[in-house]
Chains A and B, each alone.
Chain A
Amino acid sequence: MDGGKFFGAFRACSGIKDAVVLAHVPVGCNWGAMMLKSTSNQPDIRQACTVMHEREMVFGGENALKEALIHADKLYDSPLITVVAGDASAMIGDDIEAVINSISVNLKKEVVWMDAAGFKDNMRKGYEEAMVHLAQLMKECSIIKNSVNLIGFCPDDFKVHADIKELKRLLNSAGIKVNSVISNCRFDEFVNAPAAELNVVMGQGAELAERMKKEFGVPYLEVDYPYGLEGTKEFTNTICEHLGIGCDAEQEFDLEPFKRIYLYLHELYGTPVSVIGDFHAEPIAHFLDRELGFDIEVLAGNEDDYFIFEQNVRDSSTTILFGSSFERNIAAELRIPLVRFTYPVFDHVCMYDDAPYAGFRGAVCLTETILNAVMGFGTKETGTTR
């Protein structure tokens, strides 16, 4: 299930943590965007909206946008306003560039806008295009040796804070500094992203990395999101190898937690499971298959046909479903547990749990979550999805 280009651009812009995101959309789109991020960080109120109503649809939304820009400029203490223009303004042909140009000299903040009509493309494309637009804010920097940018995170990804913390811990212990985490950094960190020696693209943001390579000469490599022990080893070793740092990720293991938790897994060997999600789906399926010994029945991406996915799951012997909050209904229908691991998760919070799913620590936490989902579920006859 894909949120369309608007949501991709919105998430990309929300990832500059001290910027204001001004959604030039009708009230419903704004509500949807707020709802999907409400469980990630409610106090984060950097979202403004032109709130297009019927009047704007008929007479155009340019005046509303102008007023909203002026208000946002006054109300927020922020270095940047990103204008994300959705479907309605694209349909009626608002000249957003002209509006911004007409008042930019009077605004204290920098303004970047992007055409993000949901009907034009998918969420992934929205993210990629938005990142390329935002790249115009970056500046030439002195390279910081053995530093990387991690590209592909969004502030409303499930477990994002814990995952970033774990990956930073891993990379730091290998002697690597994390320069910027994109899209989850402050404006100054984003602007100074070209100081990194290497861009590490995790699932999305390759177009930004390509642009940075051309413009600033920062090379990049694309890696899978690091789930499980093997996935994490590959992640760390690949980066170290690229930077020419001698590092044996295996030595970082603390095997004790795994010995304890993996004891529980004997009974689950060969469990049929299905997985759906964005770029996190394939790596997690790989972990479930390779390290936990689960059988992957159905594996689907967000851009695949959701109804076919549901039908394939119904026709399979899936006993655990891995996905987002969107899979709650199908899990309830099939009376199987749902393990949430990917965007959007709007029925669980994970802001301060400090239990990652990525990295070595993430491998333990994720396994524990899976065990708890199964153990707490009861039987297929009596169980209810939680």
Chain B
Amino acid sequence: MRKFCIYGKGGIGKSTVVSNIAVALAEDGKTVMVMGCDPKSDMTRNLVGRRIPTVLDVFRAKGPDEMKLEEIVFQGFNGVYCVESGGPEPGVGCAGRGVITAADMLTRLGAFNDLEPDVVIYDVLGDVVCGGFAMPLRKGLADDVYIITTCDPMAIYAANNICKGIKRFADRGEVFLGGIIYNGRSVVDEPTIIEGFAARLGAKVLGKIPMSELIPRAEIHHKTVLEYASDSEIADMFRYLALAICENEDRTIPEPLSEAELDEINEEIDVLMREKEKKEGI
């Protein structure tokens, strides 16, 4: 079973990437399961076409002993198994503990043993804010992690922070950094910035998602791009990315950048932004 996590700053496109590569892998004949580990619980909406009940919704309503697997796992487009961990309402309880509870319940109810997925993909909240959101990095739940980032300074900062979390668990041999995914929907679209950032981390850029109006269009219709515009170039980009991740064997222990190194990258972005302004005559 191939198991990996997708991390990245909030709003960076994690759910878009996860849902599209899940469909791409399913097209390839694989049994795929995706688990959304964000209390917003909207990752699987484009796969199923609607919001699904979350593990913690059912947990709260029925308790751990009365829950059934079919109440928390739903099949979406191309037969992709979809699970949302869910979480408490904003401002109460502990969402991190919720991720742990949901992962435990999924294992306890036999999701992995009974459904026998070939690929499991975790879509995790924007940052490794606490032990709960680091859960997919532990206990062998995932083999490696892929971080999505744009060229924006805060996205790079978040990616670097996530690498600190990965390093902690990588040092124990629990999980590794598989690579970086570049999202071209940036303030400046310059892949070399992210290639340089990845190189400093000791990783490589595994794929690029260019800016495309097909993505929001598909999402307006609660669909993945692969369903909405299967023959499009952007759909193929997701297919390449899915294949690259699945076949990737490079596993690295990232070396997170210092503040000074991050500042150097920021300066490069600043120069590019000025050049862009000049070109656009602002």
Contacts and interface: CB of A to CB of B under 8 A. Distances in A.
A55 B59 CA distance: 8
Contacts of B95: 58
A58 B94 CA distance: 5
Contact of B101 (A58, A60, A62, A93): A58
Contacts of A62: 92
A60 B59 contact: no
Contacts of A58: 56, 59-60, 87-88, 93-95, 97-98, 101
B87 A54 contact: no
Interface residues of A, number: 12
Nearest to A61: B93
B88 A59 contact: yes
Interface in A138-191: none
B76 interface: no
Interface in A199-238: none
A57 interface: yes
Nearest to B102: A58
B281 to A, nearest CB: 51
A263 interface: no
A55 B93 CA distance: 9
A105 interface: no
Interface string A316-355: 0000000000000000000000000000000000000000
A91 B56 CA distance: 19
B55 to A, nearest CB: 10
A61 to B, nearest CB: 8
B64 A54 contact: yes
B11 interface: no
A59 B60 contact: yes
Nearest to A91: B94
Interface in B79-103: 87-89, 92-95, 97-98, 101
Nearest to B88: A59
Contacts of A91: 94
A57 B89 CA distance: 13
Nearest to A88: B94
A35 interface: no
Interface residues of B, number: 15
Contacts of B60: 55, 58-59
B92 A60 contact: yes
A359 to B, nearest CB: 50
Contacts of B98: 58-59
A211 B81 CA distance: 62
A60 B88 contact: yes
A54 B93 contact: no
A287 B191 CA distance: 80
A92 interface: yes
B57 to A, nearest CB: 10
A361 B108 CA distance: 62
B59 A92 contact: no
Interface in B181-220: none
A92 B132 CA distance: 12
A58 B92 CA distance: 8
A57 B94 contact: yes
Interface string B26-69: 00000000000000000000000000000010011001100000
A91 B132 CA distance: 13
A179 to B, nearest CB: 44
Interface in A82-110: 91-94
Nearest to B64: A54
A183 B95 CA distance: 39
Contacts of A60: 88, 92-94
Contacts of B87: 58
B93 A92 contact: yes
Contacts of B89: 59
A57 B59 CA distance: 12
A92 B63 contact: no
A54 B60 CA distance: 10
Contacts of A55: 59-60, 63
Nearest to A62: B92
A57 B92 contact: no
A93 B63 CA distance: 23
Contacts of B92: 59-60, 62, 92-94
A91 B95 CA distance: 12
Give the one of A59, A60, A92, A93 with max B CB within 10 A.
A59
Contacts of B94: 57-58, 60, 91-92
A188 B59 CA distance: 45
30 contacts: A54-B59, A54-B101, A55-B60, A56-B93, A57-B93, A57-B101, A58-B56, A58-B59, A58-B60, A58-B88, A58-B93, A58-B95, A58-B97, A58-B98, A58-B101, A59-B88, A59-B92, A59-B93, A59-B98, A60-B88, A60-B92, A60-B93, A60-B94, A62-B92, A91-B94, A92-B92, A92-B93, A92-B97, A93-B92, A94-B92
Given A56-B93, A60-B92, 5 more contacts: A54-B97, A57-B93, A58-B88, A58-B98, A91-B94
Interface of A: 54-60, 62, 91-94
Leading 6 A-B pairs by shortest Cβ distance: A60-B93, A60-B92, A58-B98, A92-B94, A59-B93, A59-B88
